[in-house]
Amino acid sequence: MAYRPLSAVVLAAGEGTRMRSPVPKVLHPICGRPMLLHVLDTLVALPLDRIVVVVGHGAERVTKMVQEQLATEIPIEFVEQRVQRGTGDAASVGLTAFADSLDADDDVLVLTGDVPLLRPDTLAALATEHRLAEAAATLLTVELDDPTGYGRIVRDERGGVLCIVEQADANDAQLGLTEVNPSIYCFRRAYLAPALRRLSPENAQGEYYLTDVISVLRSTGHAIFAVTGDDAAETMGVNDRAQLAAAEAMLRGRINEAWMREGVSMSDPARTYVDAGVELEPDVQLLPGVILEGRTAVGAGSVIGPDCRLVDTIVGERAVIQQTVARESEIGDGATIGPWASLRPGTRVGADAHIGTFVETKNADIGEGVKVPHLAYIGDAEIGPRANIGAGTITANYDGRNKHRTKVGADARVGSNTVLVAPVEIGDGAYTGAGAVVSRDVPPGAMAKGVPARIEEGWAAERDAADDGSDEST
C-alpha cells in the first residue's frame, strides 16, 4: 500500500456551556494539565503529518496555552471557527488548513478536544483498520450502559452502520440503542470535504452535525467501517464538572499505577494525587494525603506525607517531608521538613537541614545542616551552614515600605525568640541571647544580648502587702 499521509483535526471551538465557567472547556485542568493538552499529548505520540486545532470560544487563550505549554516536533496549527455552528461546520473549518496541501489522497483523524483519556494505541488502531478496510469513513463506537447524551449508532440488518442519530433527534427505539458515538473518526479527506458541503442544519439543534457525514457518505455509495472499542471509559467526553471529576479520577489512577510500576510506593493510591507533569524517582514513598503539583520532582528514597502539598517543588534524595505545604521551593538531600511547615516561593533548604513544626520560610537560602526546629519565620534570608535558629525567632524583614535581607553566618546560634531586624547580619559562629532584638550587625564570634527585662526585686511581696495578701482569683 502506498504511503498515505495521516493528519488530525481536533474540534475545540465550543464554549462548553455545561461547565458553567468563564474558562473555555478545553482549558479546564485534569491532573494539573489542561484537558486539550491531554488530547494533544495523545496525538503527538502518533506519527502524524499535521495536527490542526479548531479554536473559537476563547480562541486566543486556547492558542496561547498550547503554544506555551506543548513542546512538539510537528507544529500545531490553529484555525478559527468564528461562529459555532456545529461539529460539521467545525470540521469544515479544520479542513481549510489543508487548502495548500498537495496530497491528493490522505486520511484525517477527527476528534473532539474533550476526550482526555484517549490513548494513542486506540487512534493508531482506528487508522490502521480504516486503511485495511479501504473505508471512506471509520468510526470508533462504544457500548454504554447509560447512553444518555451521546449520538446513537444505527445499524442496518446486516450490521453495517447506517447513520448516527443525536439524542435530541432520536425516536424512542433509537434512544434505546446502547452503542454510541464518542466522536472519534478517521476519514479519507477526499471524501470528507464534499460530504461536509452537503450537510444541512435541519435538526433539533439547528446545527451542522459532523455525524450526518456518515449517512451522506453511505447514501453516495461509500464504505463506512466501525471499530468497537473495548474500554468505554477511555473515550468518555467531558461536558460538565461531574465528568471532569470522573475523568480526573481515572487519569489519576493511571498516573499512580504507572509510578508504582516505576518503583514508587503509595500506601493508599486512592488518596495520592500526582499531577501529570510530576517526576518521581524509584523508591520514593508517598503516604496518604499527598498532593504533588505542577513541575514537582522528588528524588530517590524520599518519604513524602502524610498530608503534604508540594507545588513546583524540587526534592532531593532521602528527604522526609510531613504535613507540609511547599511552593516553588527546593529541598536538599536528606533534609527533614515538618510536621506543619510552610515553605513559600524561593525557599532553598540545604542537604540534611531540618525545618520543624510551625515554621514559615520565604525567599530564604537555608544552608546545609541548618536547624530551624520550631515556631519561626525566616524570610528574605540567608542562613549559613549548621546554624541553629531557636524557637520563636523571626526575621523582621519588612519596614512597611521595603523588604530587607537577613544574613546569618555559618555555625551561628540564634537564641529563642530573637527578632532579627533586617537588614542585619549575624557573623559566623556568633550567638544571640534569648529574646534579643538585633538591629545592628553582630561580628563573628560575638554575643548579642537583647532587650534585658528590668528586674524588680521583691515585687510580689510588695503587691501582697498592698492588697493584704488575699488572692482573689478563683
Active site residues: 374
Closer of 85 and 327 to ligand UD1 (Cβ)? 85
Binding partner of 164, given ligand UD1, Ca ion, none, CB within 5-8 angstroms per partner class: ligand UD1
Spatial CA neighbour of 271 closest among 257, 254, 292, 288:
288
Burial class (CB in 10 A: 0-12, 13-18, 19+), 46: middle
State the Cα–Cα distance between residues 245 and 31, nearest whole angstrom: 10
Residues 29-68 as x/- pattern, contact with Ca ion by CB under 5 A: ----------------------------------------
CB half-sphere exposure, 456, CA atoms < 13 A? 5
Q: Please, what is the minimum distance in Å from the beta carbon of residue 21 to ligand UD1?
A: 13
Binding partner of 166, given ligand UD1, Ca ion, none, CB within 5-8 angstroms per partner class: ligand UD1
Q: Please, what is the minimum distance in Å from the beta carbon of residue 211 to ligand UD1?
A: 5
Q: Please, what is the minimum distance in Å from the beta carbon of residue 211 to Ca ion?
A: 12
The residue whose Cβ lies closest to ligand UD1 is 151
C-alpha cell at 279: 517526576
Contacts with ligand UD1, residue ranges (CB under 6 A): 11-14, 54, 56, 81, 84-87, 89-90, 112-114, 150-151, 164, 166, 180-183, 209-211, 237, 239
Please report whether residue 237 would count as binding Ca ion according to CB under 5 A. yes
Binding partner of 14, given ligand UD1, Ca ion, none, CB within 5-8 angstroms per partner class: ligand UD1
Q: Please, what is the minimum distance in Å from the beta carbon of residue 140 to ligand UD1?
A: 11
According to the 3-state scheme, what is the secondary structure of 18-86?
HHCCCCCHHHCEECCEEHHHHHHHHHHCCCCCEEEEEEECEHHHHHHHHHHHCCCCCCEEEEECCCCCC
Binding partner of 350, given Ca ion, ligand UD1, none, CB within 5-8 angstroms per partner class: none
Closer of 151 and 369 to ligand UD1 (Cβ)? 151
Span from 36-44, 167-175, 235-243, 294-302 in contact with Ca ion (CB under 5 A): 235-243
Q: Please, what is the minimum distance in Å from the beta carbon of residue 75 to ligand UD1?
A: 20
C-alpha cell at 355: 525545618
State the Cα–Cα distance between residues 13 and 83, nearest whole angstrom: 9
Closer of 203 and 239 to Ca ion (Cβ)? 239
Q: Mind giving me the DSSP string for 444-474?
A: TT-EE---PPP--TTHHHHHHHHTTT-----
322 CB-near residues (< 8 Å, 6+ apart): 305, 306, 307, 308, 337, 338, 339
State the Cα–Cα distance between residues 90 and 78, nearest whole angstrom: 12
Judged by the rule CB under 5 A, the positions of this chain that interact with Ca ion are 237, 239
